[in-house]
Homo-oligomer: A and B are copies of this chain.
């Protein structure tokens, strides 16, 4: 029997009528002949309520007890979904993480999968059950304690089950109807993509398109799990939404698939750093230890000769999330006090945004960067930092031009045209 994994997020199961609506989508797939594994999140708002209980009880809480409390949300939805499916005449039952068991590491709050044995669920399918409803976001450690996977964990659960059970596809039902060439709230011409490659989705997810968690896309790419993102709130059929798949499945891809952005960035520049071997690790080591997420890094190789710095010097520029600027500043000052590095000044520009174009077609196509810079230039947008990878080009610009830049790039690469 072909098997599908279907995942419903918190807004898709927010109340009993939405659970019923989701169950109807499951019913449709069962009618088509699929066995289905349904992964559910907590009803929207429930997890936040449970987290507030935990934080109201203990500031520096024991993560094991946190996990024991918050997993209750998904367990409730799983039972209710199974009941609703039974009410529709579909043989179904719920599984809590420990019942499967979803074996994870003991890293409470951010556990990783160890194994998902198939035997219990396979046996139920063999007995005639059509649907296994599994509580997302959770697992059980070797010590027998409940664990959670961290934010977006239910997407990851869905992909892991699709991989473990060799599912034909993993459908992620959410509150948007697919992946767009860019954010439709910013560029009205944004177009829904029919297909997108894993690598592109990964760049878009980590660049700020919040539809799918990075970790679930990574897992899908590793195990070649075909992901479909589609809406819980619309009538959907086998062609709805966006398929995230291997690039081989995408016949003719455009050079650029999408434009991503990230609003809350800061550009930091260490002015007049000694330019010697090991200086980069002397800077970025302390930043990593302080938990600062450094994204783009640019070193302006130069040979200045200041009175106070007789040797070779350079400027080092990097970007961080704007809310980590203070932490980065402290880490740099501490490193200077400890004699690890030397610099004249640390300049922070907290009014920048990042805009990126992404596309696997870039690999074989020249001139993408030139076209991007040209489009920005024609709008008089100054580029502050540039960083590139195999399939993306990112720039930092003044935040006030962010929307304009997204629109200009969307037009320049003709993303509104299929």
A interface list, Cβ under 8 A from B: 16, 19-20, 50, 53-54, 56-58, 61-62, 64-66, 68-69, 71-73, 75-76, 78-80, 82-84, 86-87, 93-94, 96, 98-99, 144-146
Contact = CB atoms under 8 A, between A and B. Distances in A.
A86 B144 CA distance: 20
A20 B19 CA distance: 35
Contacts of A86: 58, 61-62, 65
For the complex of A and B, 3 pairs with smallest distance between CB atoms: A69-B79, A72-B72, A68-B79
A76 B72 CA distance: 7
Main secondary structure of the interface of A (DSSP, over half): helix
A84 B53 CA distance: 11
Nearest to A69: B79
Contact of A68 (B16, B65, B78): B78
Given A69-B79, A69-B80, A72-B76, A16 B56 contact: yes
The CB with the most chain B CB atoms within 10 A, among A19, A69, A86, is that of A69
A54 B69 contact: no
A44 B358 CA distance: 52
B65 A50 contact: no
Contacts of A20: 57
Contacts of A58: 83-84, 86-87
Interface centre among A57, A71, A96 (most CB of B within 10 A): A57
A6 B57 CA distance: 20
A100 to B, nearest CB: 10
B62 A82 contact: yes
15 contacts: A16-B56, A19-B57, A53-B80, A54-B79, A57-B80, A57-B84, A57-B87, A58-B87, A62-B83, A65-B83, A66-B83, A68-B94, A71-B75, A98-B98, A99-B145
A291 to B, nearest CB: 23
A61 B16 CA distance: 14
Contacts of A72: 72-73, 75-76
A212 B140 CA distance: 35
A144 to B, nearest CB: 6
A404 B146 CA distance: 56
